Amino acid sequence: MPEYLPTAPYRGTRDFLPPEMSVRTQVFGHLYDVLERYGYQRYDGPVLESAEIYERKSGQEIADQQLYTLTDRGGRRLALRPEMTPSVARMIAGNAGSLQFPVRWYSHPNCHRYERPQRGRVREHWQINADIFGSDSANCEIEIFELVHDLMRGVGATDDMFVVRANDRNLLSSALTDLVGVTAEQLPQVFGLVDRWEKYDRETLATQAEEIGLPDKQFEKLGDVLGAGTALLDELPEQVKETSNLVKVLANEAAGLVRFDPMIVRGLAYYTSTVFEVFDTSPENNRALFGGGRYSDLAGMFTSQQIPGIGFGMGDVTLMDFLGTHGLTPQPRSEVDVVVIPVAEELAGAARQVATELRGAGMRTSTPLELRKLGKELGRADKAGAKVVVIVGQEDWAAGNVTVRSLATREQRVVALTEAAAAVAELLA
């Protein structure tokens, strides 16, 4: 017996059959539409990048544990991109001389991370990325938060289904050093602890805090700070708050778009100030859906020019989980709207001619590739989701006519070939 190769995809990746692809196309089509209505232009880049750009800026977890790397025949160390932001920073830096800043860009790349597959996490995912480059203004934060809300509404969500929780790393740094007594050397590790705060039990967190060098008293104070909400802002120095775009947003009419939350820190190392995450409010899917933030120096890996940026990445896995949780997943589209059926093999060319006319009128139209009896072809058309069939018969075609039939009502009528498109459109409507 021959030894067949497995038909399952590599663990952590997915096949998308036509019905699933139809759902995805509909969902992402809505997102593209929202982004382009805001003036964002679509770009793309290579799936292979220098491993160094992730090792320098994406953070230890990605660089040490999740990066798919390879060495090419020229000895260059490459990686399958785990995210798009370092790539777009490279592209912005490389083309800065020809760009009119600020710029609004978006993309929809597939990304790869060596994760332990589980709900919400796989090893290959697709991600909507949206970024603004070239401005430090708080208006960027406001637009990004408005965009997030409109993207969620674009896929059918209402504002009570999700919440945007935002923080500023500079505000958090001030709180940790001034109120908790964390040293500058401890800050990166404490940031990591804060990022895990809602994922672990208190005993585990206390053990990790002790390993960092925080005694019980500091650990308790850390818990108080992280749970303080907006009241924490009253305890922070004015000079720190004056430089925070997030504080400006919270004092603006856009304040209702976000909720200040000291526990939001984001795991990626390149974030420098504003950070945010979008959470599902349903208890059935109580988790972060996606997030982003501001990075003031990411382009500095490639250029001496200061090009600040802010953006986010919306992954397909958590988004589809969200839609399923709230009953918002669209139904797959049918294969076709119309099937043109010749009653005899010698009429196949005539059927293709009719199909060409209908396609030209914007209708999704197919013809049989292997002719069967009319009854079987009608059944196949029905299973394909067609609403209308056009039957090409010998006598009708000789007279310049075709038969247009509704599969829903079984009503049919003979129409002139010149009127076929209009007759089909009427039935489809």
The token pair that represents 21 in the structure block: 């692809």
The token pair that represents 373 in the structure block: 């009896």
For tokens 């289904």, what's the residue? 161
> Which residue ranges make up the annotated binding site?
83-85, 113, 127, 131, 266, 270-271
Cα-based angle 206, 210, 216 (whole degrees, multiple of 5): 65
Beta strands in 232-296 (DSSP E): 259-260, 274-280, 288-295
Whether 66 contacts 75, CB under 8 Å: no
The number of helix segments (H) and strand segments (E) in the chain equals 16, 17
Q: Dihedral (C-alpha) 226, 230, 234, 239: value to the nearest 10 degrees?
A: 90
Neighbouring-strand partners of residue 340: 390
Q: H/E element holding 176? A: none
Distances from the Cα of 131 to the Cα of 92, 199, 267, 281, 345, angstroms:
11, 28, 18, 25, 55
Mode of pairing for the β-strands spanning 162-168 and 259-260: parallel
Q: Count Cα neighbours of 391 within 13 Å in the Cβ-side half-sphere.
A: 21
Q: H/E element holding 312? A: strand 309-315
> Which residue ranges make up the annotated binding site for L-histidine?
83-85, 113, 127, 131, 266, 270-271
Cα-based angle 321, 194, 207 (whole degrees, multiple of 5): 110
DSSP secondary structure, 179-214, as one string: II---TTTHHHHHHHHHTTTTS-HHHHHHHHHHHT-
Length in residues, the chain: 429
Q: H/E element holding 427? A: helix 420-428
Q: Please choose, from the candidates 52, 68, 154, the residue with its C-alpha nearest in 3D space to the C-alpha of residue 112.
A: 68
Neighbouring-strand partners of residue 392: 342
